[in-house]
Structure 1
């Protein structure tokens, strides 16, 4: 279910598999309902989501209700912010970020040459 105000997508395994097929930047807020810092960061995350075009997908992941996805991101503490592009995880950060810092991460993610990233990953896997 999406957050009605900001269009933030609530992730489960099926939705994760669907959205990671795109070339778009995907920004994921990994959190839990009981986490006070997560609740505080939610306002920053929502404001950032509302300020971006459709080329950035904003998603939330409840690590309690979706433990397999939390494990896939190797979450050690929450909140954690993860950024993906073209199906590749390109950034993670444990803890909150300011809106300016999150916008800068998104700017950098947009600028990444995703084909170069894929070639680098393939080269490392071949070794």
Structure 2
């Protein structure tokens, strides 16, 4: 997975990683927000969910201590990382800004 993860984040297109856990209540809220964000941004960015219980090494590598944590990568660079539930407008604007720069 780690090599695949590197390939994933080395994209020209921004990639939002949703670090989540199945048992996490706020993660379910974040997931529904991300569905709307995906509709808003279309092909501008990718949204990928990573279960921290299935891939603890990746979560540890990026310092994910709580879920949900969202991280945005572009060309392999971590441009944004924040824990907690985000709203639709914040994420839509963030991804549009990163995609355009």
What does residue 88 of structure 2 align with?
99
Within 1, Cα distance between the matches of 2:44 and 2:4?
17
Q: Report which of the two structures shows the higher radius of gyration computed on alpha carbons.
A: 1
Corresponding residue number in structure 2 for 1:109: 98
Of the structure 1 ranges 51-60 and 27-36, higher mean CA displacement relative to structure 2 is found in: 51-60
> Alignment partner of 1:82: what SS?
strand
Does the 8 Å contact 2:44/2:96 carry over to 1? no
Does structure 1 residue 52 correspond to structure 2 residue 41? Answer: yes
Q: Extract unaligned runs of 5+ from structure 2.
A: none
Q: Comparing both chains, which one has the higher relative contact order based on Cα–Cα distances under 8 Å and sequence gaps of 6 or more?
A: 2
CA distance in 1, matches of 2:67, 2:35: 17
How far the C-alpha of 1:108 sits from its partner, in A, is: 2.0
Q: Distance in 2 between matches of 1:52 and 1:108?
A: 11
Aligned residues: 101
1:41 to partner: Cα distance: 0.9
In the alignment, is residue 23 of structure 1 matched against residue 39 of structure 2?
Answer: no
Match of 1:85 among 74, 77, 85: 74
Cα RMSD for the two superposed structures: 1.3
Deviation track 1:3-44 (CA, whole Å, cap 9, x = no partner) reads xxxxxxxxx434312212221100111110000000111100
Between 1:14-23 and 1:102-111, the stretch displaced more is 14-23
Residues 1:66 and 2:90 aligned together: no
Q: Which structure has greater helix proportion?
A: 2
Taking structure 1 as the reference length, the TM-score comes to 0.73
Structure 1 residue 61, shift from structure 2 partner? 0.7
2 CA distance for matches of 1:52 and 1:73?
Answer: 25
